[in-house]
Amino acid sequence: MTTPPATGPDVWAGDPALEEPPAPVWEDPVPLAGPRKLTAFPVASLPGWLREFVAAVAEETQTPVDLAGCIALSVLATAAGGRSVVQVRGHWREPTNLYVVVSLPPANRKSAVFGLLTDPLYEAEQQLRTLVQPAIVEAEMTARLAKEAADKATAKAATASADERDQMVATAIALAQTADSVSVPVKPQLLADDTTAETVTSRMADQGGRISVMSAEGDIFDIIAGRYSGKPNMGVFLKGHAGDRLKVDRQTREEYIEHPALTMGLCVQPQVLDDIGKQDGFKGRGLLGRFLYSVPASMVGRRKIEPDPIPEPVMDTYRRHILDLTLFLAEWTDPAVIQLTPEATAALTAFQARVEPMLEARGGIMGQIGDWGGKLVGAAARMAALLHLAEHLTKGHTVPVAEDTMRNAITLAEYFISHSLAAFDSMGADRIAERARTVLEALRTNGWREVSKRDLMVKLSRSEFRTANDLDPVLSLLEDHGYIQSQAVQRTGGRGRPPSPRYLIHPRLTDPTT
C-alpha cells in the first residue's frame, strides 16, 4: 500500500498505512476554576480566654467565627507590633505585626464584630493618653516659657550697646537653643482608620514606629491605589509590614523610622478583592502577598433569631487581658525578643520543608502565588509569637515559645493557605488559569475542531502571550482539564520550519449540545 503524500508540514505520526487518525475519545472537561474547599477556622488554636471570646462573639453576632478570629489576631498584633520581635534562627527575626483581610458580603454585622474586638484597644489608648498628659502639659509650659525668655533676650540684644551686645547675643542664642531642645510628647495613638499613606507614615513616626489600621470597610485599598494622589502609593505599606527602614524627605518635614511596624485588620466586601485584581498598580509590587486572607461563607439567611449573648465573665477577661498586654508592651522602647524552644524551632523547620515544594512554579499548589507563599513561614512565626504573648501576657518575654504554640500557629497558617488561594482566584492572580480562559474563548470564537500552536498564536494578543513559550503552560493546563488533546506530529523531511504542535479541541467548545 502506498503512503499518501503529505499535504503540509504537520502530518499525523504513527502507522503510515492509516488514512486518518482514530477518532478521539472525549470525557467531560474539568472546570478551570471550581470552588475551592476552604478550611474551617481553627478556633481551638487560640489560647483559652481568646478562644472563648471569639466563639462568643461569633455566636452573639451570628457571624462566621473566621471574622472574629482573624480580627483577634490583628488585635494581638496591634498590642505587640513594634514592641516585640520573634527570634527564629541565626539573624532571622520576624516582627509581630500582621496584615489580615476578611472578605464578607454586606449585612454580615462586620462593624459590630470590630467594635467588640477593638474596644479594649481604644480603652488602652485612652489610658496611655491619661498617663502621659501631665508630661505633655509640663513640656508645653516649659517650651512656651523658654521661647518667651529667648524672645526677650533677642529683643534686648538687638537694642544693646556695643560693649554689651556680644554677651547678650550669646545669652539669646543659648536661650533659643534651650527652647528648641524642649520636646513635647505626642499623644499616644494605637489605631487609625480612614487615613492616607502620608498620614500613616507620620503617625508611625510620632508613635515610635508603630500604628494599626483597623477598619470594617475596604477604603484603605482605594487610598493605596491613589484615590487622592492619582497614583499608587505603596511604600509605607510595603516597608511597614517587613520592618524595612523608612525615610521620607518633605518640604515641611523629614521623617525617619528605623523599624516601622504597621498592622492592618480589615474586612472588605468581595467586590473589593475583585476590583483589586483589575488594578495594575497592585500587581507586581508585592503588597497583596503580605496579607493573610480569609473568605468565609456568609451566614445571612441561616442566622439564629435569638442567639446567646456573650457571657460577662468572658467579656471581662478578654478586656483585662488585652489591656494588660497592650499597656505592658507600650512601655518597651527596645522590642521584647521572643525566643523559640528547640522543639518549636524544629516544628517550624518541618513546616518550611512542607511549604517549599508547594511554591514550585509548575505543579505546586502555591506556584502561582509564590510571593504570598514565600512569606508564609515568617507569618507562622509571627502568629506563634502572638499566641505565646496572649498565653503569658506580661511574662511572654521571659519564657520561650513552646512546641504546642508553634503547632497552633502552623495550623492557622494552613488555614490561610486555602483561603488565600481562593482570594487570589477572585483577584485573578493565577495567571495561567486566567490565560487559559482567554485561550478557551479564542477556541470557542473561531470554531476550530483542531488547531496548531502557531495558528493559535496568530489569534492571541501579543501583550498577553509575547512568545510561544508563554502558551506552553496554558496548553498543558487545558489538556490536563480535558479541553484539548495534543497530537503527535512528525517531520516530512527537508530543511523547512519544524512542524507546529497540533491539538484536537473538545467538540463541546463549538457545539454545547455535544
pLDDT tens column, 146-172: 888 888 888 888 888 888 888 888 888
pLDDT band (50, 70, 90) for residue 438: confident
Compute how many other C-beta atoms are within 10 angstroms of the C-beta atom of residue 339: 16
Lowest mean pLDDT among 122-126, 203-207, 244-248, 438-442: 244-248
> Does the reported pTM lie above 0.85?
no
Are 510 and 444 spatial neighbours (Cβ–Cβ below 8 Å)? Answer: yes
- The CA distance from 231 to 219, in Å, is 15
pLDDT of residue 14: 47
Which one has a higher pLDDT value, 77 or 256?
A: 77
For residue 245, the 8-state DSSP code is -
Mean pLDDT calculated for residue range 354-358: 94
Lowest mean pLDDT among 143-152, 294-303, 485-494: 485-494
Grid cell listed for 415:
488555614
How does pLDDT run across 341-355, given as a tens digit for each residue? 999 999 999 999 999
pLDDT of residue 4: 44
- The CA distance from 99 to 265, in Å, is 6
What φ, ψ does residue 47 adopt, rounded to 5°? -60, 155
Lowest mean pLDDT among 296-300, 406-410, 446-450: 446-450
Are 463 and 324 spatial neighbours (Cβ–Cβ below 8 Å)? Answer: no
What ranges make up the beta strands (E) of 282-388?
Answer: 292-294, 336-338
Q: Using a CB cutoff of 8 Å and minimum separation of 24, what contacts does 216-221 make?
A: 216/110, 216/111, 216/113, 216/114, 216/266, 216/267, 217/266, 217/267, 217/268, 218/266, 218/267, 218/268, 218/269, 218/272, 219/194, 220/194, 220/195, 220/264, 220/266, 221/268, 221/272, 221/275, 221/276
pLDDT of residue 1: 42
Compute how many other C-beta atoms are within 10 angstroms of the C-beta atom of residue 338: 27
For residue 340, the 8-state DSSP code is B
What φ, ψ does residue 217 adopt, rounded to 5°? -125, 170
Give bridge partners of residue 89 from the DSSP assignment: 92
pLDDT of residue 11: 43
For residue 212, the 8-state DSSP code is E
